[in-house]
């Protein structure tokens, strides 16, 4: 069973439909034991980093995620759900502590950074017209991850992953 974490935010229905269409048994829940015992946990996310963190903490989802990550159980964050796994989120002139599972701060990309990202992907302009492409790529790459140079204390590190780049 795949548990989709219900913490009052996120693209829950879209995630639920996507997994169901591929034959997975899916349950939308914030029940601690169901989330821990699930084959996989999905952390959906839509909206501001601070608002998502508020919802996660209100529903004690931080404890669910920490328990799964400590045991290295399959956990997938979607968009802001993935961003909350890092140390901090910096948007709208507010730095909000994240779940701290991985070192790093999620930052809003500058216009220059977005334009550089667009220049790195010219092949996408062949599929859609420029105006739509620019709106799409600007949305797609609005945030970037800044990896911290200093490690978290051993008690603060959870799980392992290979991250080559994160743009959301």
pLDDT tens across 38-55, in order?
999 999 988 889 999 999
Query: Which structural domain, as residue segments, surrounds residue 151?
Result: 2-156
What is the DSSP secondary structure assignment for residue 84, as one 8-state letter?
T
Selection from 162, 121, 163, 123 nearest residue 140 by Cα: 121
The pLDDT value given to residue 159: 42
Residue 122 and residue 69: Cα distance in Å, rounded?
A: 37
Residue 19 and residue 118: Cα distance in Å, rounded?
A: 30
Burial code of 92-121, b = ≥16 C-beta within 10 A, e = fewer? eeeebebbbbbbbbbbebeeeebeebbeee
Residue 164 in domain:
no
Domain count, the chain: 1
**Residue 130, φ and ψ in degrees, nearest 5:** -60, -45
What are the pLDDT digits (tens) for 59-85? 999 999 999 999 999 999 988 898 999
The pLDDT value given to residue 131: 43
The pLDDT value given to residue 102: 87
Per DSSP, helices labelled H in the chain are 12-21, 32-37, 49-58, 61-70, 80-83, 111-120, 130-140
The structure's pTM equals 0.73
Which CATH number belongs to the domain containing residue 81 in this structure? 3.40.50.880
Distance of CA 24 to the CA centre of its chain: 21
The pLDDT value given to residue 168: 42
Residue 146 in domain:
yes
**Residue 16, φ and ψ in degrees, nearest 5:** -60, -45
Residue 56 in domain:
yes
Selection from 92, 87, 112, 37 nearest residue 67 by Cα: 37
Confidence of residue 91 (pLDDT cuts 50, 70, 90): confident
Question: Contact, 41 vs 64, CB < 8 A?
Answer: yes
Residue 166 in domain:
no
In the block, which residue shows the tokens 């999620």? 106
């Amino acid at each position: 069973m795949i548990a989709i974490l219900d913490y009052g935010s996120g693209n829950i229905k879209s995630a639920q439909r996507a997994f169901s269409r591929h034959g997975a048994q899916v349950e939308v829940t914030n029940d601690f034991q169901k989330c821990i015992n699930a084959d996989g946990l999905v952390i959906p996310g839509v909206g501001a980093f601070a608002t998502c963190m508020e919802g996660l903490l209100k529903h004690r989802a931080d404890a669910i995620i920490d328990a799964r990550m400590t045991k290295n159980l399959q956990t997938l964050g979607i968009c802001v759900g993935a961003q909350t796994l890092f140390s901090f989120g910096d948007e709208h002139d507010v730095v909000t502590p994240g779940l701290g599972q991985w070192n790093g701060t999620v930052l809003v990309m500058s216009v220059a950074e977005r334009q550089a990202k667009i220049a790195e992907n010219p092949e996408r302009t062949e599929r859609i017209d420029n105006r739509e492409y620019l709106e799409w790529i600007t949305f797609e790459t609005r945030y970037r991850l800044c990896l911290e140079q200093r490690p978290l204390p051993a008690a603060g590190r959870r799980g392992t992953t290979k991250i080559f780049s994160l743009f959301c």
